[in-house]
Amino acid sequence: MDRRKRRTIFDIFNELFREIEGEFQEFVREAERLRRYGGEEIGELREFRRPFVYGFRITIGPDGLPKIEEFGNVRRREGPKPIISEEREPLVDVLDEGNKVRIIAEMPGVEKDNIQIKASNGKLIIRASNHNRRYYKEVNLPAEVDIKTAKASYRNGVLEVTITKSRKEGSEFEIKVE
């Protein structure tokens, strides 16, 4: 009898965590190399004295498969070295709530006057900066929205944007933060 063990969700997560652990170890090796040289320009190293911010969260998508979302200022690229950006990518939730779409972004350390939000062609572009923090994120909207109904609020480092769904496609529109 040929008995094959069925894969469970735990098997998938174990593989996922092994892959993440390998990538994280590579990132730590690269960060250690940058620290050793003091961030000075040596060979391919460029000067970078900002903190490294990297994080991820794992959720189960609507198809039942795990979905990994990364945030921070460290980006993957082809090759062994990550790209370290001046702008951080905030952690963002997009919630489809009946006739509304709600976008929640975590952006601590900026003032509400320094936040710019634009909606255009099915995307929401969030940009914020202070003297020592910069954020940038392009969010794909799950449905067509009426961007003129958009409302935004910012409290305790959390930006919340609510937009009513629509059947019409609009042009670019800037959203004021209350």
What is the reported pLDDT for 100?
A: 92
The larger pLDDT score, comparing residue 92 to residue 30, is at 92
Tokens of 133: 């923090």
Pair (94, 69) in one structural domain: no
What is the Cα–Cα distance from 28 to 23, expressed in whole angstroms? 9
The total domain count for the chain is 2
pLDDT digits (tens, 9 = 90+) for 40-77: 444 444 555 566 777 778 888 778 888 887 777 777 76
What is the Cα–Cα distance from 39 to 123, expressed in whole angstroms? 36
Pair (76, 115) in one structural domain: no
Tokens of 4: 């094959």
Q: Residue 176 belongs to what domain range?
A: 90-178
Q: Would you say the pTM of this structure is higher than 0.75?
A: no
The CATH number for 165's domain is 2.60.40.790
Pair (67, 128) in one structural domain: no
List CB contacts of 69: < 8 A, sequence separation 6 or more: 56, 57, 58, 59, 91
pLDDT digits (tens, 9 = 90+) for 108-139: 989 989 999 998 878 899 999 888 888 999 89
Pair (4, 37) in one structural domain: yes
What is the reported pLDDT for 171?
A: 59
Pair (172, 122) in one structural domain: yes
Q: What Cα–Cα distance (Å) separates residue 69 from each residue in 4, 20, 93? A: 32, 12, 10
What is the Cα–Cα distance from 45 to 22, expressed in whole angstroms? 22
Tokens of 164: 């009513």
What is the reported pLDDT for 151?
A: 92
